[in-house]
Amino acid sequence: MTKSFPIICIGGSAGGTEAYIKLLQHLPVDTGGAIVIVNHIARKPTNLHNVLSHYTAMPVVLVKSGLHIKPNHVFVIPSNCDLHVLDGEFVLDLKSKHRGWPNVITVFLRSLASHWSGTIVAVIVSGLDADGTAALKEVKEVGGITIAQTPEDAEWSDMPESAIKTGYVDYVLSLEAIAQKISQIAAQDADK
């Protein structure tokens, strides 16, 4: 099953929840894209899907293997899992990296670059370490768009700064401007 709508991966960790909330508050419910929140610090079962559902009218769903990816939905990665896409569905695996800083954002972005036919938008927000950074080149190579939160606006600037240093970030924006850019990209995608 080929999907052609955009997937917007929003990856973060420390300070990420506030960033996700602000983005969802500024995103229209009919962007036409699937929003996937990949938070890399949860070690116990996440409640993030319940928290975020208070800040958007879009359905907010905790990902399960085999779940069909749909536009105008928010999907949240469960704790302690790697997330992939295949044939328009999510696939969960046990987390492959058990020591050191997680790399779940990188794993998901690489899966998108290999298996998603629609537009990919990679957004890196507040967080420690550099998760997501290693996959930005692959996202760009398949025509994806990369965005980092302005480091000065991030509660923890490590992840956005690391992304920016790669040279593979298209836009460095405030959270409000990121929401506007996502809406613009999705609207342009719909006009193709």
Q: Is 43 exposed, middle or buried (0-12, 13-18, 19+ CB in 10 A)?
A: exposed
Question: Taking 60 as the threshold, does the pLDDT of residue 1 lie above it?
Answer: no
Query: How far is Cα 65 from Cα 175, in angstroms, rounded to an integer?
Result: 30
Residue 2 has pLDDT above 60, yes or no: no
Cα(84)–Cα(64) distance, integer angstroms = 11
Look up the pTM and report it. Answer: 0.94
182 pLDDT band (50/70/90 cuts)?
Answer: very high
pLDDT at 96: 67
Residue-level pLDDT at 102: 74
- State pLDDT tens for residues 44-82: 678 899 999 999 999 999 999 999 999 999 999 998 899
